[in-house]
Amino acid sequence: MRQTAHTTKSTRSATALKHRLRICCLSVFCLLGFVACEQAEPTSYLIPKEDRSLTMPAPAADSAKTKASAPTNGSMRILPGMQAAADEAGGVTYTVPEGWEDLPASGIRKANLKVSDENGNAELTVLVFPGDVGGRLANINRWRGQVGLDNATTDDLSKFTETYSISQHPGLYVRLEGGAQSILGGLLPFHGSTWFFKFLGSSGTVLGNEGKMKAFLDSVQLEDSHH
């Protein structure tokens, strides 16, 4: 009987121990499951929008063209081909007014004269360009800007221009009286090119030599291979 009672007591102790172990295991599993659920909770992230823009490199400048268009004469840009056109335009002959200095032609200048007096200095340049170089009004307004005058309109031209024969061809005489400086000039369309005769300088010198400027224009003879 004692052995049986001892065996029964041992069995009960073993059963109780197993029960406690089950409870502990269930507790551990529940705890792990809770932690897992905590960690499995979804987290939101802000992903920056992908920049799909593409910056294209600027085209490399043509160095030859850049160099060709860089020089300027006054406010007129010397474009590629103008020098060649000036060389092919033929020569010009003229009579140098008394008291004026005739300087050597250079670059696109077909002639270059200077005069100095008690009023100041002035310079006469003779240039030729292919085509009309923007048109008569644009060229005159360019000159007007050089002596501080506002742009004119076509209706204004009769106030400071007149028809004028240059080298036996119909041209235009321009008189632009500015403040400190003035311009007397001639424009001549000639076989697909335009000749420019610009007398620019101190107003007193320029306007005081207007008679000599017109005498110069009267003496001009352009080489004409078309006749």
Q: What are the residue ranges in the chain where pLDDT is below 70?
A: 1-82, 226-227
CATH number, domain 79-222: 3.40.1000.10
In tens, the pLDDT along 147-185 reads 999 999 999 999 999 999 999 999 999 999 999 999 999
Q: Return the ∠ at Cα 27 (arms to 21 and 29), rounded to 5°.
A: 105
Give 124's DSSP letter. E
Residues ≥6 apart with Cβ < 8 Å to 47 = none
pTM of the entire structure? 0.66
3-state secondary structure 132-159: CCCCHHHHHHHHHHHCCCCCCCHHHHHH
In tens, the pLDDT along 141-154 reads 999 999 999 999 99
